[in-house]
Amino acid sequence: MPGLKRKDILGLREMTVEEIDLILNTAEALKDLATRPVKKVPTLRGKAIVTLFYENSTRTAKSFELAAKYLGADVIHVSAATSSVQKGETLKDTARNLEAMGVDAVVVRHSMGGAPHLLARSLRASVINAGDGIHEHPTQGLLDMLTIRQKKGGFKGLKVAIVGDSYHSRVARSNIYGLTKYGAEVWLAGPSTLLAQGFEEYGVRTTTRVEEALEGADVVNVLRLQLERQEKGLFPTVAEYHRFWGVTAERLRLAKPDVLLMHPGPMNRGVEIATAVADGPQSVITEQVTNGVAVRMALLYLLLGGGEAA
Amino acid sequence: MSRPKALLMDATQMNRALSRIAHEIIERNKGTEQVALVGIRRRGIPLAQRLAARLKAFEGREVPVGSLDITLYRDDLSELASLPVVHKSEVNFKLPGRVVVLVDDVIYTGRTARAALDALLDIGRPAAIQLAVLVDRGHRELPIRPDYVGKNVPTSPRERVEVHVTEIDGEDFVALYDNE
CA distance B3 to A292: 47
Within 10 A of A183 (CB to CB), how many other CB atoms are there?
13
Low-confidence spans in chain A with pLDDT less than 70: 1-2, 307-310
Backbone angles phi, psi at A221, to 5 degrees: -110, 110
CA distance B86 to B91: 16
**Where is A152: in which H helix or E strand?**
helix A138-152
Strand A205-207 versus strand A159-163 pairing type = unpaired
CA distance A74 to A68: 7
Strand B6-9 versus strand A205-207 pairing type = unpaired
CB-based contact A36 B122, cutoff 8 Å: yes
CA atoms within 13 Å, Cβ hemisphere of A51: 26
CA distance A231 to A202: 28
Question: What is the C-alpha end-to-end distance of chain A, expressed in Å?
Answer: 10
Q: What is the DSSP string of A82-132?
A: GSGGGGT--HHHHHHHHHHTT-SEEEEEESSTTHHHHHHHH-SSEEEEEEE
**B152 within 8 A of B136, measured Cβ to Cβ:** yes
Residue of B73, B78, B86 to mutate, testing the A interface (most A Cβ within 10 Å of its Cβ): B86
CB-based contact B123 A2, cutoff 8 Å: no
pLDDT digits (tens, 9 = 90+) for B74-107: 988 888 778 899 999 999 999 999 999 999 999 9
Q: By CA distance, what is B72's nearest residue in A?
A: A43
Q: Does A301 contact B at CB distance below 8 Å?
A: yes
Residues in Cβ contact with A196 at an 8 Å cutoff, skipping those fewer than 6 apart: A166, A167, A169, A172, A173, A176, A188
Angle between helical axes of B11-28 and B44-59 (0-180°, round to 10): 60
Within 10 A of B19 (CB to CB), how many other CB atoms are there?
15
Distance from CA of A26 to the nearest CA of B (A): 6
CB-based contact A305 B83, cutoff 8 Å: yes
Comparing CA positions, the residue from B125, B128, B104, B127 lying closest to residue B116 is B104
Q: By CA distance, what is B74's nearest residue in A?
A: A43
Distance from CA of A283 to the nearest CA of B (A): 26
B-proximal residues of A, 16-35, CB under 8 Å: 22, 25-26, 28-30, 32
Distance from CA of B52 to the nearest CA of A (A): 25
Q: By CA distance, what is A35's nearest residue in B?
A: B123
Taking all residues of chain B, what is their mean pLDDT, rounded to a whole number? 95
Within 10 A of B97 (CB to CB), how many other CB atoms are there?
13
Backbone angles phi, psi at A55, to 5 degrees: -135, 155
Comparing CA positions, the residue from B148, B152, B113 lying closest to residue B29 is B148
CA distance A176 to B95: 44
Mean pLDDT of B35-50: 97
Inter-CA distances, B121 with B48, B68, B87, B129, Å: 19, 11, 18, 10
CA distance A21 to A27: 10
Out of A81-90, A102-111, B25-34, B54-63, which region has the weakest mean confidence (pLDDT)? A81-90
Residues of B in contact with A310 (CB under 8 A): 80-83
How far does Cα A94 stand from its chain's mean position? 24
Residues of A in contact with B71 (CB under 8 A): 43
Mean pLDDT of B135-159: 97
CB-based contact A305 B118, cutoff 8 Å: no
CB-based contact A2 B80, cutoff 8 Å: no
Mean pLDDT of B28-42: 97
Comparing CA positions, the residue from B85, B83, B95, B91 lying closest to residue B34 is B95
Residues of B in contact with A3 (CB under 8 A): 82-83
pLDDT digits (tens, 9 = 90+) for A137-178: 999 999 999 999 999 999 999 999 999 999 999 999 999 999
CB-based contact A26 B77, cutoff 8 Å: no
CB-based contact A1 B122, cutoff 8 Å: no
CA distance A59 to A130: 11
CB-based contact B79 A305, cutoff 8 Å: no
Identify residue B10 by its one-letter amino acid code: D
From the DSSP assignment, how many helices (H) and strands (E) are in chain B?
Answer: 4, 8
Within 10 A of A111 (CB to CB), how many other CB atoms are there?
14
Distance from CA of B127 to the nearest CA of A (A): 17
Residues of B in contact with A298 (CB under 8 A): 86
ipTM: 0.85
CB-based contact A25 B85, cutoff 8 Å: yes
Backbone angles phi, psi at A154, to 5 degrees: 175, -165
Which of A29, A71, A305 lies nearest to residue B88, judging by beta carbons? A29
- pLDDT at position B1 is 58
Residues of B in contact with A41 (CB under 8 A): 72-73, 119, 122
**A9 within 8 A of A299, measured Cβ to Cβ:** yes
**Where is B133: in which H helix or E strand?**
strand B128-136
Residues of A in contact with B118 (CB under 8 A): 42
- pLDDT at position A2 is 53
CA distance B90 to A61: 30
Strands (DSSP E) contained in B3-112 are: 6-9, 35-40, 65-68, 99-107
- pLDDT at position A165 is 94
- pLDDT at position B82 is 82
Q: Which residues of A280-309 are buried (b: 16+ CB within 10 A; e: fewer)?
A: eebbbbebbbbbbbbbbbbbbbbbbbbeee
CB-based contact A306 B78, cutoff 8 Å: yes
**A265 within 8 A of A140, measured Cβ to Cβ:** no
CB-based contact A38 B122, cutoff 8 Å: yes
- pLDDT at position B80 is 79
Within 10 A of B103 (CB to CB), how many other CB atoms are there?
31
- pLDDT at position A231 is 73
Residue of B72, B92, B125 to mutate, testing the A interface (most A Cβ within 10 Å of its Cβ): B72
Residues in Cβ contact with A22 at an 8 Å cutoff, skipping those fewer than 6 apart: A2, A4, A302, B85
Q: Does A40 contact B at CB distance below 8 Å?
A: yes
- pLDDT at position A307 is 64
Residues in Cβ contact with B72 at an 8 Å cutoff, skipping those fewer than 6 apart: A30, A41, A42, A43, A71, A301, B86, B119
CA distance A141 to A11: 9
